[in-house]
Amino acid sequence: MNPPRNGFGPLPLLAIVLPGRALQMSAPGRRPCRGLVMGRSSRGLRRALVTLTALPTLAANLLGPAAAGPHPADPGRGRGPGLFAGAAGAFVYCFHCTEEAAPFIAIWYTLGIAVVNGPRGAFGAAPCCAGKRLFTIQGANSASEIRLETPPHAQIHHTQVPHFGRACLGALLALVFSISLGHAAPPLP
Amino acid sequence: MTHPGMWIKLAYTFAIAAFGLWLVERGRPALGRK
């Protein structure tokens, strides 16, 4: 099943971001535009930390590849894992980020999540497809075929791993990774 | 944690993560169905 298409592309996002940006720029005593967009504490590769923090969650999708289920022939289904991993990474990154300007969040957080997701969810699908090759039965093309061909005692490895468990593990990995990054690169003064 | 910007960041990323999780669960076969 493909993710729903709203037919409006990025317009919903712009509809949220642009009015907020207009309000902020019209506020008295506003900071210069460059400071709002580029931030005051970020420098160079620091913005890439959103992407880096998302990697453990993306890797955690390996643990339940058939349940997460994007088939290699349908990479668009990687949008779910990609979005989830990117946003979970950004969520953890929030606790280290001192920037609070709406344009900074709208641009860099969204970009970081989009990078993890990849075009049409291709990056989100990659670990699931790789894991699917590792864990599933040769020749099975869908989760239903896997369920039919797998002995009952082994099915839990393929179809019944709760995604919530993977989510918790991914968040835990991301937290440890983020804390280690925070120690390695403390916030700029 | 008390700054509104912090809560906005958390809510924004949480909403996207929830949407991603919903997409994953939506494309996943129902448990226990043969």
Return the residue of A nearest to B6 by Cα: A100
Q: Which two tokens stand for residue A12?
A: 């919903």
pLDDT tens digits, one per residue of A140-188: 444 544 444 545 544 444 444 455 555 566 666 666 665 565 555 444 4
Return the residue of B nearest to A17 by Cα: B12
Above 60 in pLDDT, residue A65?
A: no
From the CB of residue A120, how many other CB atoms can be counted at a distance below 10 Å? Answer: 16
Residues of B in contact with A83 (CB under 8 A): 16-17, 19-20, 23
Yes or no, beta carbons of A80 and B14 under 8 Å apart: no
pTM over 0.80: no
CA A174/CA A94 separation, integer angstroms: 12
Q: Which two tokens stand for residue A90?
A: 């950004």
Answer whether B7 touches A (CB < 8 Å): no
CA A166/CA A178 separation, integer angstroms: 18
Shortest distance between the Cα of A61 and any Cα of chain B, in A, equals 10
Q: Which two tokens stand for residue A181?
A: 């990054």
pLDDT range class, residue A66, cuts 50, 70, 90 = very low
CA A143/CA A160 separation, integer angstroms: 11
Tell me, what's the pLDDT at A140?
Answer: 45
Shortest distance between the Cα of B23 and any Cα of chain A, in A, equals 5
Higher per-residue confidence, A97 vs A133: A97
Q: Which two tokens stand for residue A160?
A: 């019944």
Yes or no, beta carbons of B16 and A69 under 8 Å apart: no
> What ipTM is given for this predicted complex?
0.76
Mean pLDDT over residues A12-30, rounded? 60
Above 70 in pLDDT, residue A45?
A: no
| Cβ partners under 8 Å of residue A9, min gap 6 | none
Yes or no, beta carbons of A143 and B29 under 8 Å apart: yes
